[in-house]
């Protein structure tokens, strides 16, 4: 048997060291930077909320376990040449399985097809390892050694390929990542960090829309910044319904705690908010949510009717309300609320000019998105389909 010093002299030791460094660095970065929120929700769901994932401890522990698995496989196979990278394959596959999580995760469906596919792949893997082990005595002599040897780069290329496969199998759903990150930040009480999550992600679902509304409420900037984010689902996305709008880690009670009351009868968010505002539990947040609910549904008439009950229209208003009133006054011949804001009126006229530059509906949206994508006008246009009554 070749000693460790002999292996380093013939180049295999350096090759193994380079492979180990690559594997450890990739695993650490993949777990710590890319998948921590997915691992957090996985642990939460599988433990039924009894335990919480610690990113630092979890990353180190998982990396160590996977590296020990590789070390055990190497000790048993002694694959030491062009097929050495195969000793990392089970660890890489386990890493992929661990992070192959969907938004429909439950404690009963975590493994899914992996429950039978992983054992099958391991049987195939054992056959492949045996085959390459038989070929090792026929390996040609190494013409070079060290970091830049062909042996090192052949194995490194195999590991890079495995890394790409791991990334393709693991959860890459940007919306789900954003949701879990936001839930994690809200659970920690860091609402300021939560409102910045996924801001540049164009895709959105109803659950993410609800989380943004909750985060902005806790950050005291709901009516100012709500329509600066992509939103979907209208007012129905404001509260969890356990179907299209749901929470994975954050307790539902933390959402209803904003209003201090939960009705026994399950209601649509708009109905719930109307009931809250008729009760003794009505507060500033419940009123703002009701006004935002009307805006999310593009219901400018009910918004204009309700706004004077809660705000003095001749006083400074939040950005979203100002934009909605300007739009309302331009769309209605006889508005119930007269509102003038010269600067914003001028901006709206510029918005219309850009919008009417073309007759193509898709091109119109694209034209106004760059300059006005964070305004209520763009939200109204993209959800109602036109700038008409």
Please answer whether residues 342 and 328 qualify as being in contact, where contact means their C-beta atoms are separated by less than 8 angstroms.
Answer: no
Residue ranges per structural domain of the chain: 7-137+145-171, 173-297, 317-389
In this prediction, residue 28 carries a pLDDT of: 98
In this prediction, residue 170 carries a pLDDT of: 97
CA quadruple 174, 175, 176, 180: dihedral sign: positive
CA-based nearest residue to 296, from 209, 166, 355, 170: 209
Please answer whether residues 50 and 249 qualify as being in contact, where contact means their C-beta atoms are separated by less than 8 angstroms.
Answer: no
Model-level pTM? 0.90
In this prediction, residue 351 carries a pLDDT of: 95
In this prediction, residue 140 carries a pLDDT of: 64
For the chain, 389 residues long, give each residue's pLDDT as a single digit of tens.
445 554 544 568 888 999 999 999 999 999 999 999 999 999 999 999 999 999 999 999 999 999 999 999 999 998 888 899 999 999 999 999 999 999 988 877 788 899 999 999 999 999 999 998 888 777 665 545 666 678 899 999 999 999 999 999 999 999 999 999 999 999 999 999 999 998 878 899 999 999 999 999 999 999 999 999 999 999 999 999 989 999 999 999 999 999 999 888 889 999 999 999 999 999 999 999 999 999 999 999 999 999 999 999 999 999 999 999 999 999 999 999 999 999 999 999 999 999 999 888 888 889 999 899 999 999 999 998 777 65
């Amino acid at each position: 048997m070749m000693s460790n010093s002999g292996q380093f002299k013939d180049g295999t030791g350096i090759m193994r060291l380079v492979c180990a460094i690559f594997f450890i660095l990739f695993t650490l970065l993949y777990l710590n930077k890319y998948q921590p929120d997915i691992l957090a929700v996985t642990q939460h769901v599988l433990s039924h909320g009894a335990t919480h994932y610690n990113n630092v401890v979890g990353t180190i522990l998982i990396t160590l376990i996977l590296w020990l698995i590789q070390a055990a496989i190497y000790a048993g196979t002694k694959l030491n040449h062009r097929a050495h990278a195969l000793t990392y394959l089970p660890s890489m596959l386990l890493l992929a399985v661990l992070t192959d999580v969907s938004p429909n995760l439950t404690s009963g469906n975590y493994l899914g097809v992996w429950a039978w596919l992983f054992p099958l792949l391991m049987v195939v893997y054992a056959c492949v390892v045996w085959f390459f082990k038989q070929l090792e005595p026929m390996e040609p002599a190494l013409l070079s050694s060290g970091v830049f040897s062909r042996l090192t780069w052949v194995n490194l290329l195999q590991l890079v390929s495995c890394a790409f496969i791991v990334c393709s199998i693991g959860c890459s759903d940007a919306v789900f990542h954003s949701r879990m990150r936001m839930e994690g930040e809200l659970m920690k009480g860091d609402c300021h960090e939560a409102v910045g999550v996924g801001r540049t992600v164009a895709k959105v679902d109803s659950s993410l829309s609800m989380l943004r509304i909750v985060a902005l409420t806790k950050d005291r900037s709901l009516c100012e910044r709500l329509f600066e984010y992509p939103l979907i689902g209208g007012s129905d996305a404001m509260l969890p319904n356990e179907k299209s709008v749901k929470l994975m880690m954050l307790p539902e009670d933390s959402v209803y705690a904003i209003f201090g009351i939960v009705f026994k009868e399950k209601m649509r968010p708009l109905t719930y908010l109307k009931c809250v505002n008729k009760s003794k539990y009505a507060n500033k947040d419940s009123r703002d949510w009701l006004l935002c609910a009307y805006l999310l549904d593009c219901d400018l008439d009910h918004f204009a009717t309700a706004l004077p009950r809660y705000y003095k229209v001749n006083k400074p208003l939040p950005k979203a309300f100002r934009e909605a009133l300007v739009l309302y006054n331009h769309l209605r011949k006889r508005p119930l609320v007269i509102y003038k804001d010269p600067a914003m009126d001028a901006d709206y006229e510029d918005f219309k000019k850009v919008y009417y530059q073309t007759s193509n509906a898709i091109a119109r949206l694209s034209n106004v998105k760059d300059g006005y994508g964070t305004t209520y006008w763009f939200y109204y246009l993209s959800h109602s389909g036109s700038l008409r009554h």
